[in-house]
């Protein structure tokens, strides 16, 4: 079963997180990367860290917080 591992990169409000598969003998294998943060699809699995970081850059560049009360 795959589970979230370490955060490997953060930019603004977004993070790239390892998806790790753990075997019965205790061996761990990184099977991909997910992005967490506002508007990110955390169900999408990126095959390389480079792809995930590029997606984070796009998300962070396009992220504009919605003004709250009093703005």
Domain count across the chain: 1
The answer to the question of residue 48 being in a domain is yes
Kindly tell me the sign of the dihedral angle through the C-alpha atoms of 41, 46, 49, 55: negative
C-alpha neighbours within 13 Å on the C-beta side of residue 12: 18
Q: Model's pTM, two decimal places?
A: 0.78
What is the domain extent for residue 28?
Answer: 2-62
For 9-68, the pLDDT digits (tens) are 998 899 999 999 999 999 999 999 999 998 888 789 999 999 999 999 888 876 555 555
The answer to the question of residue 69 being in a domain is no
The answer to the question of residue 26 being in a domain is yes
The answer to the question of residue 67 being in a domain is no
Q: Give residue 71's pLDDT.
A: 46
């Amino acid at each position: 079963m795959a589970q979230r591992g370490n955060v490997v990169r953060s930019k603004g409000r977004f993070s790239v997180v390892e998806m790790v598969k753990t075997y019965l003998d205790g061996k761990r294998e990184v099977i991909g990367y997910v992005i967490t943060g506002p508007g990110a699809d955390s169900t999408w699995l990126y095959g390389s860290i480079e792809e995930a970081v590029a997606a984070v850059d796009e998300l962070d560049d396009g992220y504009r917080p919605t003004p709250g009360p009093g703005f």
